[in-house]
Structure 1
Amino acid sequence: MAQSESGNNLMDHSNETETKWKISDKGIVLKETPEPWIPKVLDIDPLREKVLLDEMERCIIETEKSEFYRKLKEQLQSPLISKHMRRVLGSESKMQVIIYGIGNIEWHEKRNRMQLSLPILMKKDFTWIGDIEIFDPILQTIECRVMKALGCSVCSFNEHGRREALKPTLFFMPFCQRTLIDNLLQTNWKISLLKNIVLLGNSFKRNIDISVRHLKLVSGDDQKIKKSDLGYIWVAKKFANEFPIRTRFDDYGLPGYDELPGRNSFHPFKGLSWHFFSNATETKLSLDEGYLDVKKYLFKHI
C-alpha cells in the first residue's frame, strides 16, 4: 500500500483514502488506470492533412505576432514567474510539456488551434521548454499526424490525467474538466512530485466557485456541502501560487479571434492561470474534512 510523505492523515493513494474521497455519490475523484488508445478515425487523407498543417502553421505565425503572445512572453520573463519556473526546474535544463484536452484542431476549431500554437511557440522562444506530448481521446489520425509534423508526439495511452511528474513538467490543460485536474493532483499528491509541476489551466479559484454552485444545485442543500466533494483542488488552492494569464478583449490580435462566436465567452485563454506548488508541506496536504458553509462562501467569493 502506497504511503504519503507525512504518514499521518494525508491524502495518499491507498484504497482507504481513495474510498474516503468517493464515499459520496456526488464525489468526482475517479480511479481510472491507463489504457491503450488509438484514434477512432484512422483514415489518412494527404490533402486534408496538408490543409490542416497549412492552417496550423498560419495560426502559429499570426499568434506569434499577436499582442497576447507578446504580453505572455513578458509575463514568463518577469522576475516573479521566472523565479517559480527556476524553482521547478531545479538542476534540470528542460521542462517537458504534457497537453491534455486540446480537442479537435481540424475543421473550424480555431480556438483549439490557437491553444496548440502557444506551447509550440514557447518551445521555439524558451530554451528550457522540452518535448511536447499531447493526448485527447477525440483526436483523429490526421490531427495526430499534423501534430507530429509540428514537432509534437501523441501519447498512445489514455492516462485519464494520471501522469506522475517524476521530472519538471508543464501540464497545459485548457478548459479541462475538474475531474481530470483532480486525477492529476491525486496522482502527484506528494511533495516530491508536486514540486515538479507547473499547471497552466483553469483557475483553481474559478473551478471551486463553479463547483460550489454546481454541488449546491445537485444536493439541493443551500446550507452546506462536504469539502471532500470539492476534490483535491479545494486543498491545493490553499497553498498553490496562482498567476492569471493576461488577456484583453478589445484589441487582442489573435488569428481568427474576431470570427469566434461569443468571442468574450469563448476566448481561447480566458480564465487560465499558471499554478505552482512549491509551497506544499505535509501539513498543507492534509485532508480537509467537514462541511463548507455554502451561503457564506458564495457571499464572500462570488
Structure 2
Amino acid sequence: MSGTGEGWQVARRRKGASKKCKNHPVSSDSKCDQENLDVGQLVKRIKKTMSDLRCEEFWKEWKEQLLVAASTSLLRPPENNDTVNQLGEVYQQLDCVCYGLGSFSTCVSARYQLAMLLLLLETGQIPLHDCSVYDPAFSHGERDVLRELGLTVLTENEEGKRPVTKPTLFYMMHCGKALYNNLLWRNWRAQSLSQVMIIGNAFSGMRERTIEREFKQDYSINRLPQSSWTDSPEPQYQHRPDLEIILRASQS
C-alpha cells in the first residue's frame, strides 16, 4: 500500500472555511432538478473545470507526487525526469475505483474532485471504462453524466469491500473512515495489501480525530499485527446508525 512521503501533507480546514458538501435532505424540487439534468451541459462544465485545473501549479506538483507514490509503493521506481511519460507507463497497469465522490451536479468541491480524477486518468492513460465509480448520493441524472464521460458506474454498494487481484488505485477523497476500514479489512493480507494505492485521507489524521473507545470498537483493522491479517472479523458497526456509508441491508 502506498506510503506517505514527505511531499504529502494533510490539508486541515481553516477556521471559517466551508465544510465538505454533505448529503442533506433536499426538497422535491431539488431532486427533480438532479434527475432532469442537462447531461451535455454538465459534461461541458466538468471538462471546463479540467481545463482550468491543467493550468494550476497544484496539478503539476500533484502529478509528480503521484508518480513517486505509485512507482515506490506498487511498481518500478522512476528512471529519469520524464515524469509525464513515466506516469502514463505506471498508471496504465492499474485498475481504478472511486468511492464517495458526492453530488457533483450541486456541490462545487465534488465537481472539482471529479475533474481531478479525470485528469489523473487522462495523464495516466487509463481507459475511462476501467475506472469504476460509486456513491449512493448519485442521482439518475448524475449517473447518466458519468456514463457519458465514459466511466463505469457501479450498480451495487460494495461498502468498500472490494477484493484486489492486481495493482489498484482507490480514489477516496474525503470518504468516511468506515469505507477505508472496510477496504483494508477485505484486503488484509500481504499479497493484496501490497497492491492497494489510496488517494484520500491520512490514517494518522483519522486516528487523531476519533474517540479512542470508538476507534477500538469499530476500526481495529488499523492496529492489528501482521499475524492477525487473515483472522480479523468482518466490520459490522452495529452501534453506529449514523455511518456515512449506506449498508446493503438498508437498501431497497
TM-score class, shorter? 0.5 to 0.7
Deviation of 1:104 (Å) = 0.3
- For the pair shown, the structure with the greater C-alpha radius of gyration is 1
The aligned residue for residue 103 of structure 1 is 102
Cα distance in 2 for partners of 1:200, 1:77 equals 12
Deviation of 1:85 (Å) = 3.4
Cα distance in 2 for partners of 1:227, 1:287 equals 16
Cα distance in 2 for partners of 1:182, 1:147 equals 26
| CA distance 1:129–1:203, shift in 2 (3 Å) | farther
Q: Is the contact between residue 41 and residue 140 of structure 1 (CA under 8 Å) also seen in structure 2? A: no
1:233 pairs, out of 212, 222, 225, with: 222
Deviation of 1:151 (Å) = 1.8
1:82 pairs, out of 53, 71, 75, with: 71
SS in 2 for 1:134: strand
Deviation of 1:84 (Å) = 2.1
**Structure with higher RCO (Cα < 8 A, 6+ apart):** 1
Deviation of 1:51 (Å) = 2.5
Q: Is the contact between residue 42 and residue 141 of structure 1 (CA under 8 Å) also seen in structure 2? A: no
Cα distance in 2 for partners of 1:195, 1:203 equals 17
The aligned residue for residue 118 of structure 2 is 120
SS in 1 for 2:75: helix
SS in 1 for 2:40: helix
Deviations 1:12-58 (A, max 9, x none): xxxxxxxxxxxxxxxxxxxxxxxxxxxx979853x622232121111
| Higher mean C-alpha deviation, range 59-68 or range 47-56 | 47-56
Cα distance in 1 for partners of 2:191, 2:183 equals 14
More helix, by proportion: 2
Q: Is the contact between residue 96 and residue 129 of structure 1 (CA under 8 Å) also seen in structure 2? A: no
Any gaps of 5 or more consecutive residues in structure 1? 1-39, 219-225, 237-281, 289-302
SS in 2 for 1:163: coil
Cα distance in 2 for partners of 1:162, 1:287 equals 16
RMSD of Structure 2 on Structure 1 (CA) = 3.1
Within the alignment, does 1:158 sit opposite 2:148 as a pair? no
Within the alignment, does 1:182 sit opposite 2:204 as a pair? no
Letter in 1 for 2:117: P
Cα distance in 2 for partners of 1:71, 1:93 equals 20
Any gaps of 5 or more consecutive residues in structure 2? 1-30, 78-89, 233-252
Cα distance in 2 for partners of 1:190, 1:199 equals 16
More strand, by proportion: 1
| CA distance 1:93–1:185, shift in 2 (3 Å) | same
Count of paired positions: 189
- TM-score, normalised by the number of residues in structure 1: 0.55
Letter in 2 for 1:122: L
Letter in 2 for 1:156: T
Cα distance in 2 for partners of 1:122, 1:138 equals 23
* Identity across matched positions, percent: 26
